[in-house]
A and B are shown apart, each in its own frame.
Chain A
């Protein structure tokens, strides 16, 4: 039976430090369906890397469950199988400095029975990677390209990228993202990539989860989110009232002078009806961008 989700976590918690004082994950629920490009958005320190490490068996959850391909990530044998079917690029392109590009490829490929020689040749040409150069002598952009090549050629069903464009200039970022999109278009695979760059998530993702302080605060298809999130702006004659709304989906209410701004995650119709009872001078409904959704939802958690 095909799994409904490639990645699925429920109530995932991870505490670090003496006495578990640092709560990196605080009940993370994550559902990544197959075939999606799933953006995992969050501020620095929101728990993105920890979640990825748990998925790949590099860190064990304190409680809750994480499954990839339906396999429990905390079980060693299952974790090996997960990694056999997964390509991974870490945020700091953690490769072996003492190896050359050719040695890195020669070292990595035998671990993956479905290693794609055709892709290896294609990306070596495309990325213009010098085979005989040591990894330590590569620029950050070249390291990212090598890390991407090593992940893409695995013949993986799932690609996990932890802030893959971190530290790259805009041109290099664009090149990496384009390569990623072109690759996914030609292969049947799921991509789960973390970032705090909203623009790049918007550029390539079809689904998104926003994580804040170890919890998913928003999740869904990007188009659905943009469709369902609305900002309703009410202008009053005098100071805006300190109102509370009963309409479901109110994510955030801001009051500033004569203006009351309400962010709704469930459309605007019912909210507008309720808002009109406050007798505002005007009611405006506006769509919101992913950036606004991100900023509003992570701020709510503070």
Chain B
């Protein structure tokens, strides 16, 4: 029943996220004919600087449908929107509920704190997994409607990369939610971290420490067809460490 409770607490964040991401997938696909019409006669601009290079690359990628979907959606829209909902789904829980949200009732039940936290984390992880997999799977479906094709395997791999690497942000929000008693500070802190990481990625392209954004977009898979196993493994380790820290924090906390 703890699953049911966690679902009730997060369902609106999840459903809104799912609808928005599905809408985003549809709009990305269905605007492709207009985009390709717009850029077909346009030469590739030679722009300098990190942002200029990014614009040039995006235009070049957009001439090919697979490149367009990756650069417009997996690398930009999906990362940003999915990231926001991953963070929102990581917030909340026992500490924020301690000020009148049922935490004392929950703690009076015969369930260990590890179990309470574990169920809450698992619910959030399943929800962000669905958010990372279902909307990308719509891309192959919608693509047929505009006369294009997109491989289901590509959609799944990008979704999986998004989930595995992006869980770091979910886990960070989850950990901070065991520290702060409101839902806003954890969310704001993680958003700031995410923006910093995103900007660093634009500027410091060769620093492996900040390449979580590239991991999330599945850039290595898009460009070379191989999966970035070390990066994904590192993400799993970092996420696990953050979730473990959250469980220790809750275990030693007084309510």
Contacts and interface: CB of A to CB of B under 8 A. Distances in A.
A192 B105 CA distance: 17
Contacts of B105: 90, 94-96, 147
Interface in B74-131: 100-105, 107-114
A258 interface: no
Given A56-B107, A106-B1, 14 more contacts: A16-B254, A58-B108, A60-B252, A60-B254, A81-B110, A83-B108, A83-B109, A90-B104, A94-B105, A96-B105, A97-B101, A107-B5, A110-B1, A147-B105
A196 interface: no
Nearest to A93: B105
Contacts of A283: none
A38 to B, nearest CB: 18
Contacts of B109: 83, 108, 111
16 contacts: A58-B107, A59-B255, A80-B110, A83-B110, A84-B110, A92-B100, A95-B105, A96-B5, A96-B105, A97-B101, A97-B102, A98-B8, A106-B1, A108-B1, A108-B109, A111-B109
B124 to A, nearest CB: 17
Contacts of A90: 104-105, 108
Contacts of B102: 94-97
A87 B108 CA distance: 8
A147 B114 CA distance: 25
B236 to A, nearest CB: 27
A59 B254 contact: yes
Interface in B210-251: 251
B64 interface: no
A92 B8 CA distance: 22
Interface residues of B, number: 23
Contact of B112 (A16, A77, A94, A97): A77
B148 interface: no
A88 B255 CA distance: 15
Name which of A80, A94, A103 has the most chain B CB atoms within 10 A of its CB.
Answer: A94
B90 to A, nearest CB: 19
Contacts of A84: 110
Contacts of A57: 107
Contacts of A88: 108
Given A84-B110, A97-B101, A98-B9, A53 B254 contact: yes
Contacts of A299: none
A60 B103 CA distance: 16
Interface in B19-78: none
Nearest to A106: B1
Given A76-B113, A96-B5, A98-B8, A56 B108 contact: yes
A77 B1 CA distance: 20
A103 B114 CA distance: 24
Interface in A44-73: 53, 56-60
A111 B8 contact: no
A93 B19 CA distance: 35
B110 A107 contact: no
B135 to A, nearest CB: 26
B119 to A, nearest CB: 12
Given A16-B254, A110-B1, A111-B1, A58 B104 contact: yes
A151 to B, nearest CB: 9
Contacts of B254: 16, 53, 58-60
Nearest to A147: B105
B247 to A, nearest CB: 12
Name which of A59, A103, A107 has the most chain B CB atoms within 10 A of its CB.
Answer: A107
B127 to A, nearest CB: 17
Nearest to A110: B1
Contact of B104 (A79, A86, A94): A94
A5 interface: no
A94 B5 contact: no
A97 B5 CA distance: 11
Contacts of A127: none
B163 to A, nearest CB: 27
Nearest to A61: B254
A97 B99 CA distance: 13
B244 to A, nearest CB: 16
A236 interface: no
Contacts of B252: 60
A266 interface: no
Name which of B104, B113, B114, B254 has the most chain A CB atoms within 10 A of its CB.
Answer: B104
Nearest to A57: B107
Nearest to A92: B100
Contacts of A95: 102, 105
A88 B103 CA distance: 13
A28 to B, nearest CB: 16
A124 interface: no
